[in-house]
Structure 1
């Protein structure tokens, strides 16, 4: 794949088209009213959870509907971990139907997945705090108030662009060092650092562990300070010291889309605003900043090299809608580079979603409108293809399938029929 457009016009999808440009007839291609039922994932969900499908209210899955479904699942006797995993399957089954049969806008799918992650993280944090408070007492700030944990969503979670089979990249930050209050008997006191490290472990178990019901989200903490060798949770003061003294250029791109996504209480009371005061000057410099070019070039070359290694001797791996030339990642790099380089001078570029940033770049005169329009169309198309690839088996893959029936189904669900 050499261009974004080649996904839609190259041999892989072209083989599924008829002479008039529509999808070629195939006995495996169902009518549009039952397109979702071709997905092997949907077939499994409808068999296993036939009795629970109606628990998700009609329409696009949103936060309130998900919380309602969770309550109903827990009423049926499922614990939190199981209820969250079943909810994920109900939400994805609904999204396949809305997307493939009704051509739901891309943002309907990405917002639903983002809110699913936020609901899951909020509930997991609440459970962790209840368990840890009972054993160690509440974590305390120097003024005696409760110390707060902020779950920072990075990447597509932070930008509310989460895809249907995505990892969630998280960084856990707490506002104050100190100690917990201990139990009523005066026992169990630990440092806040220890308390929040335990909380991270509990949250991971509730969301990331694979059980008989599957998982909710794969959780990745590799973007935290010091990477996988760093502590699972970091204090706000330690984060500030790290970004000022050791923060690398590529980390500016990582923090560009950062957003506190849980617990819901710290979002609503705006107590996490102090984090923005640290992150904003790290990501955006006041002067015209070209120092990021070398860092991004190295990162881009590494991704290209990784993609080339994966496809070496495996031509079917060249059709990677995310990592191949002209794919999703290259469009995102183009946009993020302009945001980081020029965001110090153009505050209007300080937004998270890729499509919104493309619009703002054109409006600011930093990208020709025609280029912005072309990248917007290509990005939207590639993301929709990516979702359909993942709908087939609920697998975290970005490679076009090789089976002609699967390709024909993808083409039909995109309206090429």
Structure 2
């Protein structure tokens, strides 16, 4: 090679990647140039001369690095922190460098004089270098999605093995173990680490956590005292988790999850092999069989781990299907059909992993087919998803078209998922909810714009959905015919009673009576012959669907109440007949959500909103709600008409936001924002209507204006489906004004007091259309003893001179939501000024702890599911956020949302690990709380939770059963309470 050719080769990336780098388009070319200049300065400071020279001259590789830095803050920061890793690529090309890094990771563990601290530091530094180089290879076109996930998996393998080797050697040095050969510490050690999920299948995504199961062989040669083995290895496992996932100044290695182990709520972190085998053979569930398909011995005593998996094969791969496995297959089939018939999929905010047409649908199908046929066809026992798709195709289980489409769809969706996570190294699976964020992902995947990406993404989801449903239709028929369904005459048909019993109904005679009532035309909805004919045709599908809800009788009785209130039925019955997805959604409501079922029963018109084919594709954004509210209110002038329309609109939109939440189109946080936006818009409209009417009688006050300060969950935009509204009404006027100028003049204080009373009545008084919102004004100055409306100056004075700590804590969530724009701005300034006052840290923390203790004493939680009041629950998180705000320990502009505040706590108040755990807890609690409040009319009773609700929660949280969820909640609440005690102690 000539010397003239060398710079060109370097410029196009060949010297680094082995192939010319593919162009990447930045979001902001000017910003990309700035990032390159900054990186060049870092390169010069660190003595990276060749990198600095390359960055100083134009070329494809330089342009690529600038675009990558602009598109991904994580990659930008990584390149700036460690430019030497880029410099090293001039001497050791990309693949060679990645292999070397994996070697260095393992070498760090067995280095002379290695300590836990040194191993943690080395693993974090080397993992980050490998991690961001893998991303650059992906973005630059050097590697495809398959190569990327294998590299990420190899990196995780190396890190886990390194940590395990260090801990084994350390235990050997301390005399806790006697390793047969310390130069090769793992064989015979008795410590088995199994990789599960994506790591087990070598399909790790970019910012994935790793699922592990840790087992013990107490009879291994290295174990000196078998009866001490559990204690020894549990201690080592805790250290393993700490080494891998604790956040330090160098970051973290991998978040580690051990919840897939047998019975995680009551078993130690490391389980003896015999106990695990006994569990799986006696109590193991079908989801655990599916999970074990991907299990792989990854570290520790590999030979012992592989022996365990061989011994487990009869449990995982059964020669004959049992009824429970068939039921599980049907459960998955029901999930498929629940997706059908709701029109286009939203791209913005779509969950690439769990959403419609997503990665999980492909994985579910493959694993289901493996459970069905893997016992008879050993070649279907591969861990990898794509390898199994090829095997299914070669065996004729799926068509060549399905095999080809699903393989390409799988890798495309994995590329999208990786790009989403590469932006900020966050374990998220949802596409951005804004246009700029989507453009960023489009550019990372080398699409010309977000529209082209959105079209390719939708096309892929449609392809997956089509094959996903068709695959089940093509699979061996597992269900029997329903049998007799005769509802004529007055006497129960014995065959029909048997069919209903087999379908899952406990009181078949009562069900017969109810259905005879439908066919006899006893309800308005079934009075026409055509409606009864449609319902007769629909009945078998209805019964089968309700039979699968586990509490079939209750669900069908709720549906009967719904029918009784319908003014007509033919349109609904025809729609349900042609739209299985809508039928499944209705059944889900009746079986999983008593509260929503009650709303439909009392107010059937809200069901009309489900007929919109774009419902699940459109996010309930503020703009979306505002546009529809304006249309709904147009033409209404009289106060009563406006208020009735507001009640109808709010009831329907609360219901539809809830449906999106229940169907998985939005998560709990987005639901909270949507419920709050709806309250903003409807309360604002109610205030305007009340003011107009009030001014007809009493005129206006000179310079008069009002502002509503949203408090509590309304202020923090965390409302749930059943939340009431906390508010303070503030007013201002000319100091010289003595009374209003209308036919019935009033003194200003009296004027605004009565106006507020009118607003309270307008919003919360029950009418034929129900209640708009229950209002709570107890957070105003002086509480219930004070006037209902407060002058802005009185509010300011009270807050500065008389308010207690708890009132200032409440004010951290305050948000001006309605009224005069200038006064709202003034109120926001006042609140900022009040919160900015320098406060004694000890007093604030002591007051907060004292108040939390008082609440705990006077209002204890109902049970462990009372996520607001339970120690370590939402209230603890809110108190931490509020105290952090009052002490000025929040970075950035003022925020009112608890999650946002927790995410921006300053490092001198909460370290990154603490922030990560607090925000994770808030996200988890919010998800459960939103779904529970939506579905139930009272507190969650773990002994009596509707099975449909339990299934919904578990599916949303991607957890296998309630026991695992309860163990997760217990662990999370303990962490939060520990942080609460430390941060406020």
Q: Flag the 1:87–1:304 CA change in 2: closer, same or farther, 3 A.
A: farther
- Name 2:83's counterpart in structure 1: 50
Q: What's the offset of the Cα at 1:407?
A: 2.3
- Name 2:258's counterpart in structure 1: 221
Deviating more after overlay: 216-225 vs 27-36: 27-36
1:398 aligns with 2:435: no
Contact 2:190 2:223 in 1 (8 A): no
- Name 2:174's counterpart in structure 1: 135
Choose from 110, 116, 121 the match for 2:155: 116
Which structure has greater helix proportion? Answer: 2
Q: Flag the 1:155–1:94 CA change in 2: closer, same or farther, 3 A.
A: same
User: Following the alignment from structure 2 to structure 1, what is the Cα–Cα distance between the partners of residues 332 and 294?
Assistant: 17
Q: Flag the 1:274–1:393 CA change in 2: closer, same or farther, 3 A.
A: same
Equivalence map 1:359-398=2 (5 Å): 359-398=390-429
- Name 1:256's counterpart in structure 2: 293
User: Following the alignment from structure 1 to structure 2, what is the Cα–Cα distance between the partners of residues 398 and 300?
Assistant: 23
1:234 aligns with 2:285: no
Equivalence map 1:28-67=2 (5 Å): 28=29, 33-34=64-65, 35-38=67-70, 39-54=72-87, 57-60=92-95, 62-67=98-103
Query: What's the secondary structure of 2:83's corresponding residue?
Result: coil
- Name 2:308's counterpart in structure 1: 275
Deviations 1:254-298 (A, max 9, x none): 1010000113xx33xx34332122221111101245632433565
User: Following the alignment from structure 1 to structure 2, what is the Cα–Cα distance between the partners of residues 27 and 158?
Assistant: 39
1:100 aligns with 2:162: no
Q: What's the offset of the Cα at 1:201?
A: 1.0
User: Following the alignment from structure 1 to structure 2, what is the Cα–Cα distance between the partners of residues 119 and 92?
Assistant: 12
- Name 1:16's counterpart in structure 2: none
Choose from 346, 354, 359 the match for 1:323: 354
- Name 2:124's counterpart in structure 1: 85
User: Following the alignment from structure 1 to structure 2, what is the Cα–Cα distance between the partners of residues 303 and 317?
Assistant: 22
Contact 2:196 2:210 in 1 (8 A): yes
- Name 1:166's counterpart in structure 2: 208
Q: Flag the 1:44–1:385 CA change in 2: closer, same or farther, 3 A.
A: same
Deviations 1:4-58 (A, max 9, x none): xxxxxxxxxxxxxxxxxxx999645968623322210011112222345556853
Contact 1:174 1:234 in 2 (8 A): yes
- Name 1:4's counterpart in structure 2: none
Query: What's the secondary structure of 2:174's corresponding residue?
Result: helix
RMSD: 3.4
User: Following the alignment from structure 1 to structure 2, what is the Cα–Cα distance between the partners of residues 304 and 221?
Assistant: 32
User: Following the alignment from structure 1 to structure 2, what is the Cα–Cα distance between the partners of residues 300 and 317?
Assistant: 27
User: Following the alignment from structure 2 to structure 1, what is the Cα–Cα distance between the partners of residues 328 and 311?
Assistant: 21
Bigger relative contact order (CA 8 A; separation at least 6):
1
Deviating more after overlay: 222-231 vs 286-295: 286-295
Query: What's the secondary structure of 1:291's corresponding residue?
Result: helix
Deviating more after overlay: 374-383 vs 25-34: 25-34
Q: What's the offset of the Cα at 1:415?
A: 3.0
1:206 aligns with 2:206: no
Query: What's the secondary structure of 2:205's corresponding residue?
Result: coil
Contact 1:168 1:217 in 2 (8 A): yes
Contact 1:138 1:146 in 2 (8 A): no
Q: Flag the 1:301–1:128 CA change in 2: closer, same or farther, 3 A.
A: farther
User: Following the alignment from structure 1 to structure 2, what is the Cα–Cα distance between the partners of residues 237 and 72?
Assistant: 33
Q: What's the offset of the Cα at 1:335?
A: 0.8
User: Following the alignment from structure 2 to structure 1, what is the Cα–Cα distance between the partners of residues 160 and 85?
Assistant: 22
Q: Flag the 1:150–1:229 CA change in 2: closer, same or farther, 3 A.
A: same
- Name 2:382's counterpart in structure 1: 351
Q: Flag the 1:88–1:172 CA change in 2: closer, same or farther, 3 A.
A: same
User: Following the alignment from structure 1 to structure 2, what is the Cα–Cα distance between the partners of residues 66 and 328?
Assistant: 28
| Aligned residue pair count | 374
Deviations 1:73-109 (A, max 9, x none): 989x981101111112111211221111225111221
Q: What's the offset of the Cα at 1:69?
A: 6.3
Q: What's the offset of the Cα at 1:353?
A: 0.6
User: Following the alignment from structure 1 to structure 2, what is the Cα–Cα distance between the partners of residues 106 and 40?
Assistant: 21
- Name 1:334's counterpart in structure 2: 365
Choose from 399, 407, 413 the match for 2:438: 407
Unaligned runs of 5+ in 1: 1-22, 183-188, 308-314
Contact 1:139 1:192 in 2 (8 A): no
Deviating more after overlay: 151-160 vs 31-40: 31-40
Query: What's the secondary structure of 1:169's corresponding residue?
Result: strand
User: Following the alignment from structure 2 to structure 1, what is the Cα–Cα distance between the partners of residues 201 and 357?
Assistant: 21
- Name 2:544's counterpart in structure 1: none
Contact 1:152 1:170 in 2 (8 A): yes
Contact 2:211 2:260 in 1 (8 A): yes
Q: What's the offset of the Cα at 1:299?
A: 7.2
Query: What's the secondary structure of 1:234's corresponding residue?
Result: strand
User: Following the alignment from structure 1 to structure 2, what is the Cα–Cα distance between the partners of residues 326 and 243?
Assistant: 32
Contact 1:289 1:341 in 2 (8 A): no
- Name 1:292's counterpart in structure 2: 325
Q: What's the offset of the Cα at 1:70?
A: 6.8
Query: What's the secondary structure of 2:94's corresponding residue?
Result: coil
Deviations 1:206-247 (A, max 9, x none): 111111111100000000011243211111111111111010
Query: What's the secondary structure of 1:152's corresponding residue?
Result: strand
Q: Flag the 1:150–1:54 CA change in 2: closer, same or farther, 3 A.
A: farther
Unaligned runs of 5+ in 2: 1-23, 33-59, 181-186, 340-345, 449-985
TM-score (normalizing by structure 2)? 0.35
Contact 2:192 2:304 in 1 (8 A): no
User: Following the alignment from structure 1 to structure 2, what is the Cα–Cα distance between the partners of residues 53 and 130?
Assistant: 33
Contact 1:63 1:116 in 2 (8 A): no
1:68 aligns with 2:104: yes
